[in-house]
Copies of this chain bind each other. A is one copy, B any other.
């Protein structure tokens, strides 16, 4: 599937892996990718309901030792201009519905699309990765607010399922597995879904998609069995 060759994306399953600090495992690749010491951070997903300021400070703390200055988008009176002027943009995880609703309400969706199409590097983790797909239809989050649409930023011609979790054969829980949920999605939607396990990310550049990290990812398509994709260049 074709991706606009101008896009520079890092589509990350999770900000944090087990036994490691916030952004720790991805920091090196993150900073190499953005190629800037200035980063515009969009904190609207508010994980655990934390404030925009607290969330922005957390990102700054993680990236200080790499010499990156982090600015929270909420601090700008003119947010559209802040996006226009950004050297690199990071949307962090939290609640995908809240994140998308806020972007629509502030009328920032189109501005983000324009800017990323100019080749400004974009990093998303978790909810921020859901936004790179066509829709938020494969988020794991609770629908705590009602966005005006489920259409996401649409940089990728498929959907992302972050924090992908394999079925646990020992589980006694009867709620749907992640795989079942994605299969239900494909009863009603045609776009492929990439299930990114924690510790994996997609690096998109020059129209190519690299799966990075140590783990395989899962490719789901309607009517087909899921396929494991090994790290490296992926094609579908």
Contact = CB atoms under 8 A, between A and B. Distances in A.
Interface stretch (A14-22, A70-78, A105-113): A14-22
Contact of A184 (B15, B142, B186): B142
Interface stretch (A1-9, A28-36, A41-49, A58-66): A41-49
Interface string A167-192: 00000111110001111111111000
Given A183-B48, A184-B48, A175 B143 contact: no
Contacts of A14: 174-175
A163 B175 contact: yes
Interface in A102-144: 126, 136-144
B138 A181 contact: no
A233 interface: no
Interface residues of chain A: helix, strand, loop or mixed (majority): loop
Interface residues of A, number: 47
A86 to B, nearest CB: 27
Contact of A144 (B48, B144, B146, B188): B188
Nearest to A165: B173
A182 B142 contact: yes
Contacts of A17: 174
A150 interface: yes
B149 A18 contact: no
Interface of A: 14-19, 46-49, 94-95, 97-98, 126, 136-146, 149-150, 162-163, 165, 172-176, 180-189, 198
5 contacts: A18-B174, A49-B186, A140-B175, A144-B185, A146-B150
| 10 tightest Cβ-Cβ pairs between the two chains A and B | A49-B187, A163-B175, A18-B172, A144-B185, A142-B181, A146-B150, A14-B174, A16-B174, A95-B184, A137-B144
